[in-house]
């Protein structure tokens, strides 16, 4: 049996749809097909969310549950940098580091502020049509968690998907796919929150005891992509997502894999799972890469 790993999976605690346990369950289901068709099995799974990191108690609980099914977990957090143009994942960060926790709180506050400003812009945009959207009344309640009996059990984070749903319900768009026309990066109601520069974030992740990995590098604007990558390598980058949905060339012709090899960095993949749980079986890499990320080993 060949063991493989799935990297860069989001949960409902940022812009994903599923709990960690649901991702593990899906990996177990995928393994039934993988083992028959390819003699492989997903043994490693990395969980990353934007500006969120579980506490040690929650990570231990998720680990124990996953291990019952032969799956191991690594946790990280995906951080926006350079005004959203560059994303850096911090893996294996010390969850008790107050510097790190303070950073997350600030980023979460800026996200909340971005929701407030976006709703205000939408209301101004639709003022003549008499359509309005209220963050507290239309979007916020979607964060409430309920059990199968409809009983309130807790609250999750604000997600942009909830705002898109509310925009449909308020008649601002026909379906959620149209949302980015208004609130996407080039839309009239878009708001870009201030972010830290990518080099400083890489340096901070190292100070927090973590391992910085560059996410989906092909999405970095080409005009400064290579300057950013070289600067991050100098700052102590640990790995690069060479395989993603936006760039999936074979390793022998993959420019990001070549850069990683030349600089002794981990060559990783970015499934970037959000709403489609079947993505967990995409861009699988050998389990050895998972072990190297977890143990801090240099690529051989």
For residue 134, name the pLDDT band (cuts at 50, 70, 90): very high
Cβ of 189: how many Cβ atoms within 10 Å?
21
Question: Is the pLDDT at 67 greater than 80, yes or no?
Answer: yes
Q: 198-207 and 98-125 helices cross at what angle (nearest 10)?
A: 140
Question: Is the pLDDT at 153 greater than 90, yes or no?
Answer: no
- Nearest Cα neighbor of 6 from 30, 35, 38, 32 is 30
The whole-angstrom separation of Cα 103 and Cα 157 is 17
Residues 248-291 pLDDT 10s:
898 889 999 999 999 999 999 999 998 899 899 888 999 999 99
What does the pLDDT average to over 233-242? Answer: 98
Q: How far is CA 142 from the centre of its chain?
A: 20
Q: Which residues pair with 4 in a beta bridge?
A: 42, 286
CB-neighbour burial class of residue 97 (10 A; exposed 0-12, middle 13-18, buried 19+): middle
Q: What is the pLDDT of residue 282?
A: 87
DSSP sequence for 272-294: -BSS-GGGGGSS-EEHHHHHHHH
pTM: 0.92
């Amino acid at each position: 049996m060949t063991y493989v790993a799935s990297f860069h999976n989001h949960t409902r605690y940022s812009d994903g749809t599923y709990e960690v346990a649901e991702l593990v369950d899906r990996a177990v289901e995928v393994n039934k097909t993988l083992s028959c068709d390819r003699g492989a099995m997903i043994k490693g799974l990395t969980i990353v969310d934007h500006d969120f990191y579980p506490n040690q108690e929650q990570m231990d609980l998720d680990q124990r549950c996953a291990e019952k099914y032969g799956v191991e977990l690594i946790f990280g957090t995906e951080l926006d940098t350079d005004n959203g143009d560059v994303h850096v994942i911090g893996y294996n960060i010390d969850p008790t580091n107050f510097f790190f926790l303070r950073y997350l709180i600030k980023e979460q506050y800026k996200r909340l502020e971005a929701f407030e400003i976006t709703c205000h812009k939408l209301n101004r945009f639709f003022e003549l049509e008499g359509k309005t959207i209220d963050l507290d009344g239309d979007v916020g309640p979607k964060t409430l968690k309920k059990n199968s009996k409809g009983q309130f059990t807790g609250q999750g984070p604000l997600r942009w998907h909830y705002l898109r749903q509310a925009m449909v319900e308020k008649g601002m768009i026909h379906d959620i796919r149209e949302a980015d026309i208004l609130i996407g990066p080039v839309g009239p109601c878009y708001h870009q929150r201030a972010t830290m520069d990518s080099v400083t974030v890489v340096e901070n992740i190292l100070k927090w005891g973590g391992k910085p990995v560059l996410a989906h590098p092909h999405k970095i604007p080409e005009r400064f992509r290579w300057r950013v990558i070289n600067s991050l390598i100098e700052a102590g980058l640990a790995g690069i997502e060479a395989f993603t949905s936006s760039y999936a060339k074979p390793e022998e012709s993959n420019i990001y894999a070549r850069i990683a090899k030349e600089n002794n960095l981990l060559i990783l993949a970015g499934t970037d799972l959000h709403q489609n749980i079947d993505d967990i079986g995409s861009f699988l890499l050998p389990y050895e890469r998972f072990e190297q990320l977890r143990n801090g080993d240099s690529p051989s």
